[in-house]
């Protein structure tokens, strides 16, 4: 058991939240019980996850995608009201860490995605150093890389194959980081993995020869929250469980 405030300051320091320019507030987003005993981690603070956490007896929910984002007008209506109401009714603390959780060198989404794919990070690149890169190692051809993604993430990526070169270096950035493709190319990548695909990447892959793999936004961001939750549980003697809410994205 631990005080909410103790958990809050530990997480804010561990994830260096002050160092990031982000699209929403990082840290405690909704205040619940003063004492934390049972943590549920998940990717997104959806109503389904909040209800599953409540059914699991959690007093603390730890997610990558919280409730509040730049551009919202601040009204607690509709789906947002329903989510906030469920958290408050069950006295669940909501901790959300967006870019700080992508970036963390051990528990972050990108560090954990590298672990799942068997890639040993040796460089960072791009905006706020969110991009990770590694020697291709055993994944030196595109077929092997696609197979590793399929096996590790449990779903086939959408592949823009580039020029068929041997892969020397692989770069990645979880979630909606398709805009980081050019930074990855500039950083020397022969293939770039992220969650999503937009229109420009197909042309860039053809014209630069660098392969692009869209592996799923949710699928690439499934590993940071449980790694952080497990660490928190060990550090403070809490119970922890990751709850997967299926998402085809």
Interacting residues toward Zn ion by CB under 5 A:
175, 221
Which one, 114 or 175, has the nearer CB to Zn ion?
175
Which one, 100 or 175, has the nearer CB to Zn ion?
175
**Using CB atoms, what's the residue nearest to Zn ion?**
175
CA 240 to CA 222: how far, in whole Å?
15
Which one, 32 or 126, has the nearer CB to Zn ion?
126
H-type alpha helices, 39-154:
47-55, 78-89, 99-103, 109-117, 142-153
- Rounded to a whole number of angstroms, the minimum distance from the CB of residue 21 to Zn ion is 16
Beta bridge partners of 134: 170
- Rounded to a whole number of angstroms, the minimum distance from the CB of residue 27 to Zn ion is 17
Which one, 183 or 221, has the nearer CB to Zn ion?
221
Which one, 135 or 179, has the nearer CB to Zn ion?
179
Looking at the chain, how many residues does it have?
A: 249
The distance between the two most distant Cα atoms of the chain, rounded to a whole number of Å, is 56
Does residue 141 contact residue 119 with C-beta atoms inside 8 Å? no
- Rounded to a whole number of angstroms, the minimum distance from the CB of residue 222 to Zn ion is 11
CA 141 to CA 166: how far, in whole Å?
5
CA 180 to CA 178: how far, in whole Å?
5
- Rounded to a whole number of angstroms, the minimum distance from the CB of residue 151 to Zn ion is 22
- Rounded to a whole number of angstroms, the minimum distance from the CB of residue 247 to Zn ion is 11
Q: Which residues 6+ apart lie within 8 Å of 207 measured at CB?
A: none
């Amino acid at each position: 058991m631990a005080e909410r405030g103790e958990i809050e300051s530990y997480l804010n320091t561990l994830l260096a939240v002050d160092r990031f320019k982000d699209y929403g507030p990082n840290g405690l987003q909704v205040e619940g019980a003063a004492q934390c005993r049972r943590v549920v981690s998940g990717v997104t603070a959806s109503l389904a996850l909040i209800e599953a956490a409540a059914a699991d007896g959690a007093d603390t929910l730890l997610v990558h995608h919280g409730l509040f984002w730049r551009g919202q007008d601040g009204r607690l209506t509709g789906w947002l009201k329903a989510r906030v109401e469920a958290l408050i009714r069950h006295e669940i603390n909501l901790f959300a860490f967006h870019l700080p959780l992508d970036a963390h060198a051990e528990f972050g989404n990108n560090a954990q995605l590298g672990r799942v794919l068997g890639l040993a990070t040796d460089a960072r690149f791009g905006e706020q150093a969110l991009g990770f890169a590694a020697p291709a190692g055993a994944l030196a051809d595109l077929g092997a890389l696609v197979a590793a993604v399929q096996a590790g993430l449990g779903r086939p990526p959408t592949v823009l194959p580039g020029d068929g070169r041997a892969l020397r270096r692989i770069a990645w950035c979880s979630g909606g980081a398709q805009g980081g493709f050019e930074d990855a190319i500039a950083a020397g990548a022969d293939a770039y993995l992220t969650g999503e695909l937009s229109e420009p990447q197909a042309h860039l892959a053809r014209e630069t020869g660098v392969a692009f793999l869209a592996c799923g936004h949710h699928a690439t961001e499934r590993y940071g929250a449980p790694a952080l939750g497990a660490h928190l549980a060990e550090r403070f003697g809490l119970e922890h469980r990751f709850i997967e809410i299926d998402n085809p994205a």
